[in-house]
Amino acid sequence: MKLPGNRLTAFLKAPDAGCRAALFYGPDIGLVRERADRLTQAVCADLKDPFRIAELSAGMLASDPARLADEVAAMSLTGGRRVVRIRGAEDAAAALLAPIVKSAPPKSAPGKSILGDTLIVVESSDLGPRSSLRKLFEAEAQAVAVACYADTARDLGEVIREQLGQHRIALAPDALAYLTANLGGDRAVTRSELEKLALYAGEGGRVSFEDAVACVGDTSLLSIDDVIFAAADGEPKKLETALARALAEGENPISIIRAVMRHFHRLHLAGSRIAAGSSPEDALRALRPPVFFKYEERFKSQLTRWPPRRVAQALAALTEAELNMKRSILPQETIGRAVLFDIARAGAARGNRRP
């Protein structure tokens, strides 16, 4: 079944005894891993316990399909519920998982399944609605499917405050705005950067805007900003360099497309305000989170290059590209690269002409 968002926190802390398998999927691989870890820890506190936790990869399942049933049927030598973790699973794993997941009994008939009470925790990438793996977990009452998308600004703000709060670190408002604007593409990277910032500030310290820029300014997440601004500036050559760097750093193609979409949504919002009579400066100041100061002049130039009508066209192309990345047999990188270069060439052709 699909797990409602308002039940996720409670589920990760104490999974229902009738839940026999959980799938975490989405473009935010760090969030996929974090939630899978939290669910596993709810069953077995020690993530490295070799007697209660078995870890399998998609490659291991492909080379030895019987391994899954063996691990699921194994008994814990030290007592307690076992967990079988499967990392990097894709649709090919659905056929192996189906007979095991579907055999799991409801709460009223425990112990009558080849699954026993073992919990299967599956991690996957971004799966479309037609994915056989996703459909399997959404259709079964004793299985759970959880989508893991990039943090919203609100979610990211909570993560930032929660993690720095553990170190009793105060955060200046403009520092929070900067971190919210420059983190969030991957939960694991976000937490790593925040831990680095906490070490910099020290227990009970305070993080200023300058501190946030000094610690997070060179994060690989900012390479996505280079992609965004190269595309919107109409700079295909710079886009090629920035995109190659972002992909080499492990950025997900769909996450990159979504980041570009968020930028063009902001351009559309600011451009609409200007069309209604606001000045470019007032339109920028009204954006939340605010545009990072070093990008303000480029953003203003893009407002000239991309009036609302043309922004709408770019957003339509990006939306179509994201859909194709989920359903086409072509590599996601190929589809994403094509739409970004189309936008960059359109921006270059536009130049600084007025609408």
The verdict on 159 and 141 lying in the same domain is no
Mean pLDDT along residues 139-147? 92
- Which range, of 8-12, 199-203, 236-240, averages the lowest pLDDT? 236-240
Contact, 123 vs 24, CB < 8 A?
yes
DSSP 189: H
Q: Minimal CA–CA distance to 33: which of 200, 329, 347, 250?
A: 250
Higher pLDDT, 143 or 351: 143
> What pLDDT was estimated at residue 108?
45
For residue 99, what are the CA distances in angstroms to 35, 81, 136? 25, 20, 10
Kindly state whether residue 127 falls inside one of the protein's structural domains. yes
- Which range, of 22-31, 33-42, 197-206, 212-221, averages the lowest pLDDT? 212-221
Mean pLDDT along residues 314-328? 89
The verdict on 266 and 289 lying in the same domain is yes
- Name the token pair of 219: 């994060």
What domain range includes position 31? 5-147
Dump pLDDT digits (tens) for 62-109: 889 899 989 998 887 777 889 999 998 999 899 999 988 887 554 444
The verdict on 114 and 157 lying in the same domain is no
Q: What count of Cα atoms within 13 Å lies in the side-chain half-sphere of residue 20?
A: 27
pLDDT beyond 90 at 44: yes
Q: How much of the chain exceeds pLDDT 70, in percent? A: 92
| Residue 34 pLDDT level (bands cut at 50, 70, 90) | very high
Please identify, among 113, 147, 181, the residue that sits at the C-terminal boundary of a domain.
147
Structural domains counted in the chain: 3
The verdict on 328 and 245 lying in the same domain is yes
The verdict on 176 and 113 lying in the same domain is no
> What pLDDT was estimated at residue 172?
92
The verdict on 84 and 142 lying in the same domain is yes
- Mean pLDDT score of the chain: 85
CB-based contacts of 276: which residues, under 8 Å, 6+ apart?
none
Cα distance between the two ends of the chain: 49
pLDDT beyond 50 at 110: no
The verdict on 56 and 89 lying in the same domain is yes
Mean pLDDT along residues 187-209? 91
Q: Which segment, 13-17, 27-31, 158-162, 178-182, is predicted with the most confidence on average?
A: 158-162
DSSP 141: T
The verdict on 241 and 303 lying in the same domain is yes
The verdict on 99 and 173 lying in the same domain is no
CATH number, domain of 118, equals: 3.40.50.300
CATH number, domain of 283, equals: 1.20.272.10
> What pLDDT was estimated at residue 115?
53
pLDDT beyond 70 at 282: yes
> What pLDDT was estimated at residue 94?
92
Higher pLDDT, 77 or 222: 77
Kindly state whether residue 210 falls inside one of the protein's structural domains. yes
The verdict on 206 and 323 lying in the same domain is no
Residues in a beta bridge with 23: 122, 145
Contact, 207 vs 171, CB < 8 A?
yes
Kindly state whether residue 122 falls inside one of the protein's structural domains. yes
Kindly state whether residue 355 falls inside one of the protein's structural domains. no
Kindly state whether residue 114 falls inside one of the protein's structural domains. yes
Dump pLDDT digits (tens) for 234-257: 989 889 888 888 887 777 888 889
> What pLDDT was estimated at residue 116?
65
For residue 95, what are the CA distances in angstroms to 77, 113, 119, 135, 272? 29, 18, 18, 12, 50
CATH number, domain of 196, equals: 1.10.8
Distance from C-alpha of 188 to C-alpha of 150, rounded to nearest angstrom? 11
Kindly state whether residue 289 falls inside one of the protein's structural domains. yes
Q: Please state the separation of Cα 155 from the chain's center in Å.
A: 12
pLDDT beyond 60 at 228: yes
Kindly state whether residue 232 falls inside one of the protein's structural domains. yes
Please identify, among 93, 123, 147, the residue that sits at the C-terminal boundary of a domain.
147
The verdict on 197 and 73 lying in the same domain is no
Please identify, among 147, 177, 200, the residue that sits at the C-terminal boundary of a domain.
147
The verdict on 227 and 264 lying in the same domain is yes
Three-state secondary-structure class, residue 274: helix
User: Tokens 């891993």 belong to which residue?
Assistant: 33
Kindly state whether residue 228 falls inside one of the protein's structural domains. yes
Q: Minimal CA–CA distance to 22: which of 126, 119, 132?
A: 119
Q: pTM score, two decimals?
A: 0.60
